Chain A
Amino acid sequence: VEASSFAAGPPARSSARIRASAALFRRPWLRAVMLLSAPGAWFVLIYLAALVVLFLSSLWSVDSFTGKLVHTWTFDNFKTLFSDPTYRTIALRTTGIAAAVTVTDAILAFPFAFYAARLAPRRLQTALFVAVLIPLWTSYLVRVYAWRLILAKDGILNWFLDHIGLGSVNVAYSNTAMWIVFSYIWLPFMILPVWSAIERVPDSYLEASADLGARGWHTFRRVLWPQVLPGIVAGSIFTFSLTLGDFITPTLVGGAGSDFIGNVVYRSVGVSNNVPFAAAFAVVPVVVMGIYLLGARRLGAFEAL
């Protein structure tokens, strides 16, 4: 009995499979639906719906006495954001430091990536690649706390400066400390896209440029730079957006007056229980990032990703 059912099984099953695949072949839209339904549902439910809820709740308010949400439409949160200079300062500080970190990382990443991609021998190249990635294996928190110890008044940096006779610096718990730590933490995200952009420039272009009499600087400006720029912009999307959304580094290494947008959002939700105001402030980085991405697309960053 068993043997016969076994023998009868496969042909029936495979014919069903053939019919199914034929049906799919005749209907390309069905294939597309099956392929995209899961990620599509994820995108719509988790991502877009969350954004819509964010926008809607930024128009609500909270009853200060009972802490309950009041579902009446009001622009009060945005009015506060625009009229109170405190929030303007915080938004400008966040964007400013994000921009400073991006520029710093681009300046640090370019020579490194150029050396690694074009000049270093094969074996060293692998070692450099691993060296760039190693910090990402440890926890973000561990690295920030390490910097806190390095920059502290009685920390390693001042100990070192003191030993070589340069005195000491007072950078712990300040905006400078945040700039240093952010630049360090997000550097790998800038190096990797710049690296791959430099790698993609064919050797022949540089040779042709030299053959036509261009000096090093001229070659860099007219041949290398235009082709690497999309890579830098792609990397800057990471460094800029990651800094823009951070709130842990400001808490740990920032000083008096180092609040980021994220810190105000965090406190509004977890401490003041004012979700609508948090949502309103969270719209600001969404808008900033939207503008940034439009600019990045014009510079061709998305082809370099």
Chain B
Amino acid sequence: MRFDRSSRRAAGGAVIVTALAVVVAACGGSSSSSSGGSSSSLPTKIGPGEGQLNVVAWEGYTQPQWVKPFEKQTGCQVHAKYAGSSDEMVTLMRQGGGSQYDMVSASGDASLRLIRGGDVQPVNVKLIPDWKNFIPQLQSPSHNTVDGKHYGVSLQWGPNTLLYNTQKVTPAPTSWSAIYSPKYKGEVTVPDNPIQIADAALYLSKTQPSLGISDPYELSESQLNAAVNLLKQQRPLIKKYWALASDEIDLFKNGDAVIGASWPYQTNTLQGAKAPVKDLIPKEGATGWADTWMLSAHAKHPNCAYMWMKWVSTPKVQAQQAISFGETPANTKACPFMDKIQKGACAQYHANAPAAYFNSIKFWKTPVKECGNGKTDCTDYTEWQQKWTEIKG
């Protein structure tokens, strides 16, 4: 076929008009977002289940071991979407107006962002009988309780540890300095996560007291720069920034990395595969995570969500999850159940450890402009993310 010049121009015009129409339609659709959800009042009892429950969770948090009995008992079918990072969890909870998922197993560095963003709603902890059995520090922690309102119930916690190959790393390390010193150049691995800046800040708070870092998540501009500089010096030592736990497991298995920052989960898996590894909490202390099951402000299945919070708080489920993932349960009654599943597990995962152990861990929380002491000159998370991209180059 043949087009003359004018009809070709007309066709071009039609293309542009159609494309613009699509754009305008898309803009119109996205601008009508609903305003954040402050619910009227807390429920006083759990109603009948809605038959469904959609959750965003860390991988390993919705194992059939405790999900199957829950589904059978309540009739709520659990659909889990796994997220790889706190940032991804926040993004998922905000997608599609926030009504896509009912709950999220948010760590402390995501929970405040979700609360401030109006993405989650307060929960009546009186409906969760096991809540009063939680260790006191996790009943109303600042990362999920704001102005006396509980935005969810605590779940499990654990430290970020220093993992090393016992054959290649001698003598055994006692300090985080091992991952900042050139001794293991090209054999170090750390998580690919902006919150890793807090690990550097924690180390600096002990080794360079003159910086005056008291909380690794509340950093002034100059303190942040000091931590970023340390991490930039560390970059030539890094083999790989690991994104998935399985990446780090591969690195240690194949000899590419001999030392790195880790979770207890990787240590358990590697030791299970007979790899010569050990982990420890170095003398400077450690960062860590404390997770909370939070309820979306736009949850479509709130009753099932309450049933789930009730279920995962019970000592037996707490014990199952603690052992499966390698973390410490919030419920103090879980200890005997852990020992029943695996001898000595209660002590191994610190479920009976004194409060001093808990207090030695600096739990992840979202860096915000407001410093603890009423000042507003701290660096916020957006800045941390930009710095992290800069560090990795």
Interface residues of A (CB under 8 A from B): 28-29, 31-32, 44-45, 48-49, 52-53, 56, 64-69, 71, 84, 86, 89-90, 148-149, 152-155, 170, 172-173, 251, 254-257, 259, 264, 267, 270-273
Are B88 and A270 in contact (CB-based, < 8 A)? yes
Contact B18 A49 (CB under 8 A): yes
B104 touches A (CB below 8 Å): no
B353 within 8 A of A: no
Q: Does B23 contact A (CB under 8 A)?
A: yes
Top 7 closest pairs, chain A to chain B, by CB: A152-B254, A256-B238, A271-B87, A49-B22, A154-B255, A153-B255, A64-B382
| Contacting pair A86 B390 (CB below 8 A) | yes
Are the C-beta atoms of B255 and A152 separated by less than 8 Å?
Answer: yes
Residues of B in contact with A, size category: 35 or more
Q: Are A273 and B87 within 8 A (Cβ)?
A: yes
**Residues A52 and B19 in contact, CB atoms below 8 Å apart:** yes
**CB-defined contacts of B240 to chain A, threshold 8 Å:** 173, 254-256
Please report which residues of chain B, range 1-47, place their CB below 8 angstroms from some CB of chain A when the two chains form the complex. 1-2, 7, 15, 18-20, 22-23, 26-27, 30-31, 33, 36
User: What are 21 A-B contacts defined by CB distance under 8 Å?
Assistant: A29-B1, A29-B7, A31-B1, A44-B18, A44-B19, A49-B22, A56-B23, A71-B27, A89-B393, A154-B254, A172-B239, A173-B239, A255-B238, A255-B239, A255-B240, A256-B235, A256-B236, A259-B393, A270-B88, A273-B87, A273-B90
Do B91 and A271 have beta carbons less than 8 Å apart?
A: yes
Residues of chain B lying within 8 A (CB to CB) of residue A49: 18-19, 22-23
Contact A152–B256 (Cβ < 8 Å): yes
- Assuming A256-B238, A271-B87, is B393 touching A65 (CB within 8 A)? no
Nearest residue in A to B256 (C-beta to C-beta)?
Answer: A153
Asked if B91 contacts A270 (CB within 8 A), the reply is: yes
B221-254, CB under 8 A of A: which get 1 and which 0?
A: 0000000000000011011110100000011001
Please, which residues of chain A bring their CB within 8 A of the CB of B118? Answer: 66
Residue-wise, chain B 380-393 has the 8 Å CB interface mask toward A (1 for contact) of 11100100011011
Are A52 and B27 interface neighbours, CB within 8 A?
Answer: no
Nearest opposing residue in chain B for A271, CB measure: B87
A28 in contact with B1 (CB, 8 Å): yes
Query: How long is the Cα–Cα vector from A31 to B235 in the complex, in angstroms?
Result: 63
Say whether B94 faces chain A, with CB atoms less than 8 Å apart.
yes
Contact of A44 among B15, B90, B243 (CB under 8 A): B15
State the CA gap A42–B302 with chains docked (Å): 41
| B100 at interface, CB cutoff 8 A | no
Asked whether A52 lies within 8 Å of B389 as measured between CB atoms, the reply is no
**CB within 8 A of B23: which of A53, A254, A270?**
A53
Q: Is the CB of A271 within 8 A of B88?
A: yes
Question: Do A45 and B18 have beta carbons less than 8 Å apart?
Answer: yes
Q: Tell whether B117 is near chain A: CB-to-CB under 8 Å.
A: yes
Decide: A256 near B392, CB < 8 A? Known: A32-B1, A273-B94. Answer: yes
B193: nearest chain-A partner, CB-CB:
A271
B13 vs chain A, min Cβ distance (A): 12
Q: Give the docked Cα–Cα distance between A56 and B19 (Å).
A: 12
Q: Does B116 contact A (CB under 8 A)?
A: yes
- Complex CA gap A170/B255 in Å reads 11
Residues of chain A within 8 A of B91, CB atoms compared: 67, 270-273
- In the bound complex, residues from chain A placing their C-beta under 8 Å from that of B166 are none
Q: Is B85 an interface residue (CB 8 A)?
A: yes
- Confirm or deny: B186 has a beta carbon within 8 angstroms of a beta carbon on chain A: yes
**Which chain A residue shows the least CB distance to B117?**
A66
The answer on a CB contact under 8 Å between B85 and A271 is yes
Bound form: Cα–Cα A183–B202 in Å: 42
Q: What is the minimal beta-carbon distance from B37 to any residue of chain A, in angstroms? A: 13
User: What is the bound-complex CA distance between A24 and B117, given in angstroms?
Assistant: 60
**CB contact under 8 A between A153 and B26, given known A44-B19, A65-B116, A251-B243:** no
Q: Name, among A172, A251, A271, the residue most crowded by chain B CB atoms within 10 Å (CB to CB).
A: A271
| A67 engages B256 (CB within 8 Å) | no
Q: Which residues of A contact B88 (CB under 8 A)?
A: 270-271
With A67-B94, A152-B254, A272-B385 known as contacts, the answer to whether A53 contacts B26 (CB < 8 A) is yes
A52 to B87, CA, bound (A): 28
Instruction: List the A side residues contacting B26 at CB < 8 Å.
Output: 53
